[in-house]
Structure 1
Amino acid sequence: MTSTAGGIIDAHHHVWDLSVRDQDWITGPELAPIRRDFTLDDLAPDARAAGVEATVLVQTVTVAEETPEFLALAARSDLVAGVVGWTDLTRPDVAETLAALRQLPGGEHLVGIRHQVQGEPDPEWLLRPDVRRGLAAVADAGLVYDLVVLPHQLPACTKAAADNPELTFVLDHLGKPPIASGELDPWRSQVRALAERSNTVCKLSGMVTEADRATWTVETLRPYADTVLDAFGPRRVMFGSDWPVSTLAATYRQVVDAAVELVGGTDEDVFAGTARRVYLSRVGGSSSRT
């Protein structure tokens, strides 16, 4: 594996301030440790110590006000290079909304859109006509679309990618495989089918919290990491920390070190090149097909 020429790009992390907005998904005793504020000031020392030179900040809630806040944060930050925001894809004016976001302070940092598809009861939500219209608007805006889904929703992701070949789809957290149980199929066959679409990319992220959070090891993660690395290839895989959700199971440095061990070194593509091509090439309004 070749090493990164510069620093690492962390392609997936979050921040939140509970005094600004509740994170209503942080409920129950298992998530209690992250029911507090997490800011860029909290992240920066750990990220810099791990060799991270830039990050992509990803939406957390389906609230329209969050994306402008994240864009403004990126404009003030020397760490956040890109923002994956949220907008309602089902609205008929989604194209105008995306254009308006680009005009806001920090709007040039908007690189993608995401929706919590994992919470949609319809396993084929991505294939609804109104959603398909919204996905087309995302593509027309030169943005990418992040997929946060559960394994049973992967077939719809594959169909959406086939129906929208001009749009780059980024699979977050490997599609949340059942690492804690050790099961591979049907997730493995489904993620391989998605990878057959050339306009798809996968994030090597979120694994430690899908595993048994108290007992995970690199070896328990390896079958899942190997599956996506083999299916997508390094040029279509990118590292993401999923901080601060990842702190439920590991420190920031432990997440980075586990990814390095799984990949077999700080591969230029996985740890920087893929994120640069897929996300950061769009900063300022440019676009790049994957």
Structure 2
Amino acid sequence: MIIDSHQHFWTADYAWLADPALDRIRRDYGVEDLRENLRAAGVDRTVLVEAGRGETAETTEFLATAAETPEIAGVVGWASLTDPALAAVIAGHRAGPGGRLLVGVRDQVQGHPDDFLDRPDVRAGLRTVAAAGLVNEMVVRVGQLPAVARAAGALPDSRFVLDHLGKPRIVAGAEGLAEWRAAVAPVAARPNVVAKLSGLVAEADWSHWTIDDLRPFVETAVQLFGPDRLMFGSDWPVCEVAASYTEVREAIETILGGTPDDIFQSTAISTYRLEID
């Protein structure tokens, strides 16, 4: 079984899709689109991740959809880490349709200042998520990686997931690799952080990327985190700015020399506590 730890749904009216550079992915993506891609790529289950709408209603909708979609094994929903009612929001999701499939919470940290995760109210939110038994999912920029390391160190009982390896500047080549490696190494040193081999083609040259552009970033991640703290993620349909779902899966498989069970299955199951039939 192969598990994709990171895929999205959205509709064409999501505000962030208004960027002219995103014309090729500005359309509705739903369950049937996902199923077509899963069949083509030979993927069995996915984790559905919030898609930047920034509304509680999106998580409610995604949980209900997941409850009716056997291919979706878990949902990482959006919530504001600074919401004083965060515990109640989580409880409300769990009480609704598909609530048992809520496995994590993701705020759009990348849209905040670099020290956002150091704020006391944000740390309180991270603790609330952890206390609920959920993963704290981190979508961050490279400049925010030091704050991720500090937060993970301050909350050793929380499970943190680093999306897209912290969004290294793959398009910058060796410079981007050096910058990212220095920033991500302290994150990888925290045993409660798992990282996703996801979103990499979107950080490369969309029109001219090659597997060799991605290779040093993937190999460095394996060296720093170890395969038991890495998960494969397609980042579909964001990946379609540069590559198809199948091309992304094949690129990671080529670099790794196969589909190791931990990266393509067991790490996702243990990190998100997925119930797989």
Work out whether the TM-score is over 0.5: yes
1:11 aligns with 2:2: no
**Residue of structure 2 equivalent to 1:202:** 195
**Residue of structure 2 equivalent to 1:78:** 70
The whole-number CA distance in structure 2 between the counterparts of 1:220 and 1:152 is 21
AA at the equivalent of 1:114: R
CA shift digits 1:103-145 (9 cap, x unpaired): 110000000000111111x211011111111110100100001
Q: What stretches of structure 1 of length at least 5 have no aligned partner? A: 1-6, 285-290
1:267 aligns with 2:271: no
Q: Residues 274 and 68 (structure 1 numbering): CA distance in 2 closer, same or farther, change over 3 Å? A: same
TM-score (norm 2): 0.96
**Residue of structure 1 equivalent to 2:95:** 103
1:254 aligns with 2:242: no
- SS state at 1:83 partner: strand
The whole-number CA distance in structure 1 between the counterparts of 2:41 and 2:266 is 17
How far 1:282 sits from its partner (Å)? 5.0
CA shift digits 1:140-186 (9 cap, x unpaired): 10000111000000000000000111111101011110101112122
The whole-number CA distance in structure 1 between the counterparts of 2:199 and 2:274 is 24
AA at the equivalent of 2:5: A
1:46 aligns with 2:40: no
The whole-number CA distance in structure 2 between the counterparts of 1:11 and 1:205 is 8
How far 1:283 sits from its partner (Å)? 5.2
The whole-number CA distance in structure 1 between the counterparts of 2:275 and 2:264 is 18
1:240 aligns with 2:199: no
AA at the equivalent of 1:73: T
1:226 aligns with 2:213: no
Q: CA RMSD in A?
A: 1.2
The whole-number CA distance in structure 1 between the counterparts of 2:59 and 2:226 is 31
Larger fraction in helix:
2
Q: What stretches of structure 2 of length at least 5 have no aligned partner? A: none
AA at the equivalent of 1:35: R
How far 1:84 sits from its partner (Å)? 0.2
Higher relative CO (CA 8 A, sep ≥ 6), structure 1 or 2? 1
- SS state at 1:12 partner: strand
How far 1:27 sits from its partner (Å)? 2.5
**Residue of structure 2 equivalent to 1:288:** none
- SS state at 2:84 partner: coil
Query: After the TM superposition, which parts of structure 1 deviate over 6 Å for at least 4 consecutive aligned residues?
Result: none
**Residue of structure 2 equivalent to 1:148:** 139
Task: Kindly indicate whether the alpha-carbon contact (under 8 Å) linking 2:73 and 2:274 is maintained by their aligned counterparts in 1.
Answer: no
CA shift digits 1:234-286 (9 cap, x unpaired): 0000000000010111111100000101111110000011111111x2559xx
**Residue of structure 1 equivalent to 2:158:** 167
Task: Kindly indicate whether the alpha-carbon contact (under 8 Å) linking 1:64 and 1:87 is maintained by their aligned counterparts in 2.
Answer: yes
AA at the equivalent of 1:146: E
Task: Kindly indicate whether the alpha-carbon contact (under 8 Å) linking 2:218 and 2:255 is maintained by their aligned counterparts in 1.
Answer: yes
**Residue of structure 1 equivalent to 2:167:** 176
Identical pairs, percent: 51
